[in-house]
A and B are shown apart, each in its own frame.
Chain A
């Protein structure tokens, strides 16, 4: 689990979704040059990284690339680095893009995990989010993924949508459970100012649920899914069992190094973070000249490393080692620290187990706050 992961960002979308602020462009003309640039960028890191045990194609919309292009990338990755025999190789796909033929090709080139951006089974919500697929296509994509032989499927959902009745969310969840997905990600809608939804919200076109309602939705989601046997292992993530947790995403939370390839991708070495230009044009330009397409980098101080480890760790059920708590809060006396812990335990926000501070489900709902306290 401490081996690095590889992330490949595919920054193309047929159409931007109303809530999304991940970097992507809707002009698809650059895709061929982009694929070549990806291959080149991978080669530029062959001295810094040698071995990966997870690969993740994210976006954007990776399913906008042809199967042949994705396959070229994977072949090149295998040529440049050593890839674990049992590596987890995930592709994000969009319902509607991926027909059975494409899915079978993914399976054949070695992709063994799919993450499908369903978001909702409620047509109204799909429209509100400006998704380009229908409920019908969503269902079909899951069925076809199974038909193509995928036995590790993650479904992405969004909740806390304005005027979104509790009933609608419960309906979406129960439909999701009927497919027995290995993994579920349920994200509470958060608004970014530079998205269409963010702007509509600023114009007071709609209101988000209040804090109390959000907390209730969060707990309800957790109750339903844990009731169905899933592990609530990260703020927004649920796994059918231990083996179904997203190995790649866990690296982010466990402070494990990863290499991000593609425009706007972020990388981490354990002490250094660097990230690529948030511009396809600039990215392509740099790689035409064999330069790493870096926008910036930073070297983390010890206290920054600790803060990161703590806020990332507290997003997961694993929590953080108890001793990290005392290192973080040097300005508290041992007695004060003792008291804070006691109170958080009393409030049912954390448990202390095997030398770890583990957030409870209610603790996960306030993980950011916990990170500031712990």
Chain B
């Protein structure tokens, strides 16, 4: 155990976490240069394209240190987006230390702080690392100042590197060995292992990623997952090298995997404790939380024939994404589909993209919603995450919506515009503090519904990219809510309905009409779009019909050219959904939430 180090890299988005992980892997020689694929830990295409780590991964790096001893360095990668902060906390709980990576040009950002606080909560050894020192815009002195003033860490403890150029990598590995304490825990005590991730292997079923705190586990043991007391017989245990490496046993202090005939990843819960059935530990490891989706939207196939395909794909998708939930749903306008829950809007985006890319599906997503709570006059309480289930307004005694606390950091000069934005988004109870010269931290309480839509993009735009943002869900608060319906040619399109704050309802109705007018192309007939609240039309717009759209001359026999043009247009049409007789492009459904400033 003396030779084990368990650590994570934490950083604000784009501060170079994945690149550093790659360098550490390369340096320790787990992979040779030739088949090195950039950013190995992010092994989904989307992750590589977006530069965001979506799922945690772990890898064991054998490292021969300057003291001559060989260490097993377990690097546990963490997701890098605010939607996934619980996953981050479970990964950190599996470590004894972290590398806190800070971009030399950008300095300390909101997620740097949020991650630091998380690491402190877990009493981890924190090694500040200034990355990208090779950049012309790097200002290392300023960042050193921030480490001291804003993070409250010992500035002398920092390391400097350029992950991209491979500078300073060895020093980082040495610091991991020297400064991060080895794990503790009695291998002879009853088993207590923390689940920090799981993935699905089509041949082996669910692979549980865990950190063993006490005890040990081997093939043939019967394990118990403490959250739902489910029992499984262990088939295989091992370590993560570049691929899974089978071992006889894994024991206290180690990070590894367990394969135990668990059918889907949804049967295991991140943060749950694994113990042995015949010799259980006294109590579960702390910090377990059941992850609940906060953003909901329905998914429909564009062609109704694709429903079965969609159902199959969601089932397969779910195998590898436990935080994604879905159930059958149907829409008057869009037919059979599924209501899905996501951790946030980014998660939703990713699911949509993966369904389209990996499963080749053309899908429509309804307007996303949060989960509202209605107390009815008859005393019943109704949780509604689908606007089409909005109760009869006359029966409602009290409406509530979820609130978050947003943490924002930015240079002082953007304070005014950010405060205006937060007020636009119904923000309240702000707290302002100066974290350093010219830099402020601003806390606001805001309805989640306002934040999940276009808050993040607008925030980035008003702060010109210098602001950073993080959030926690705090509670439900009473709110005046109404249902805004959209009619297209007199037909209600339930997938476009939204639950909105009363004071904003009219403006939102106007906005939705305007956006739809931009997104829905002219068609063969006039299209009327109306926003309706409680039977009253609050906004309307019309899209006039096509009147002339035909090429004058179509002979000389060159039909091919004309056909190719139509084929192209037809392909474009495939991405639209016929509602009544109007073709509505996929993009229209999310567009109603976009604000006017874009």
Nearest chain A CB to B582 CB, angstrom units: 10
Q: Which of B531-539, B556-564, B589-597 contacts A (4 or more CB under 8 A)?
A: B556-564
A331–B550 touching, CB < 8 Å: no
Chain A, Cβ-Cβ closest to B557: A266
Does B156 sit within 8 A of A, measured CB to CB?
no
B548–A215 touching, CB < 8 Å: yes
Per the bound structure, the CA–CA distance linking A275 and B559 in Å amounts to 11
A332–B578 touching, CB < 8 Å: yes
Does B429 sit within 8 A of A, measured CB to CB?
no
Contacts of B289 in A (CB 8 A): none
A275–B524 touching, CB < 8 Å: no
Selected A-B contacts with CB under 8 Å, 14 pairs: A236-B552, A266-B558, A298-B560, A307-B567, A308-B563, A311-B562, A343-B524, A343-B525, A365-B548, A365-B549, A366-B524, A368-B550, A368-B551, A369-B523
What mask results when residues 187 to 210 of chain B are scored 1 for a CB within 8 Å of chain A, else 0? 000000000000000000000000
Query: Which residues of A pack against B, CB within 8 Å?
Result: 7, 22, 58, 187-190, 211-212, 214-215, 218, 235-236, 249, 252-253, 258, 260, 265-268, 273, 275, 298, 304, 307-308, 311-312, 315, 331-333, 336, 339-340, 343-344, 347, 349, 364-373
A307–B566 touching, CB < 8 Å: yes
Per the bound structure, the CA–CA distance linking A333 and B558 in Å amounts to 33
8 Å CB contact of A190 from B523, B553, B558, B581: B553
Nearest chain B CB to A212 CB, angstrom units: 6
**7 closest Cβ pairs, A-B complex:** A215-B547, A266-B557, A215-B548, A187-B552, A331-B303, A367-B550, A214-B548
A366–B546 touching, CB < 8 Å: yes
Contacts of B580 in A (CB 8 A): 339
Nearest chain B CB to A213 CB, angstrom units: 9
Chain A, Cβ-Cβ closest to B562: A311
B578–A336 touching, CB < 8 Å: yes
Per the bound structure, the CA–CA distance linking A275 and B548 in Å amounts to 30
Nearest chain A CB to B463 CB, angstrom units: 39
Q: How many residues of B contact A (CB 8 A)?
A: 32
Chain A, Cβ-Cβ closest to B561: A266
A252–B557 touching, CB < 8 Å: yes
Contacts of B556 in A (CB 8 A): 22, 58, 266
Per the bound structure, the CA–CA distance linking A19 and B563 in Å amounts to 22
A275–B558 touching, CB < 8 Å: yes
A235–B557 touching, CB < 8 Å: no
A307–B550 touching, CB < 8 Å: no
8 Å CB contact of B554 from A188, A212, A215, A315: A315
Nearest chain B CB to A161 CB, angstrom units: 12
B546–A312 touching, CB < 8 Å: no
Per the bound structure, the CA–CA distance linking A373 and B580 in Å amounts to 13
Per the bound structure, the CA–CA distance linking A167 and B376 in Å amounts to 70
A211–B553 touching, CB < 8 Å: no
Chain B, Cβ-Cβ closest to A158: B552
Given A340-B581, A371-B566, A373-B524, check contact A7 B557 (CB 8 Å): yes
Nearest chain A CB to B51 CB, angstrom units: 36
Nearest chain B CB to A55 CB, angstrom units: 14
A366–B550 touching, CB < 8 Å: yes
A365–B559 touching, CB < 8 Å: no
Chain B, Cβ-Cβ closest to A188: B552
Does B66 sit within 8 A of A, measured CB to CB?
no
A266–B559 touching, CB < 8 Å: yes
What mask results when residues 171 to 182 of chain B are scored 1 for a CB within 8 Å of chain A, else 0? 000000000000
What mask results when residues 442 to 461 of chain B are scored 1 for a CB within 8 Å of chain A, else 0? 00000000000000000000
Does B480 sit within 8 A of A, measured CB to CB?
no
Per the bound structure, the CA–CA distance linking A237 and B472 in Å amounts to 68
Given A218-B548, A311-B562, A311-B566, check contact A258 B524 (CB 8 Å): no
Contacts of A253 in B (CB 8 A): 554-555
Does B304 sit within 8 A of A, measured CB to CB?
yes
Does B305 sit within 8 A of A, measured CB to CB?
yes
8 Å CB contact of A235 from B525, B545, B552, B562: B552
Does B573 sit within 8 A of A, measured CB to CB?
yes
A312–B569 touching, CB < 8 Å: no
Given A304-B563, A307-B566, check contact A333 B550 (CB 8 Å): no
B557–A333 touching, CB < 8 Å: no
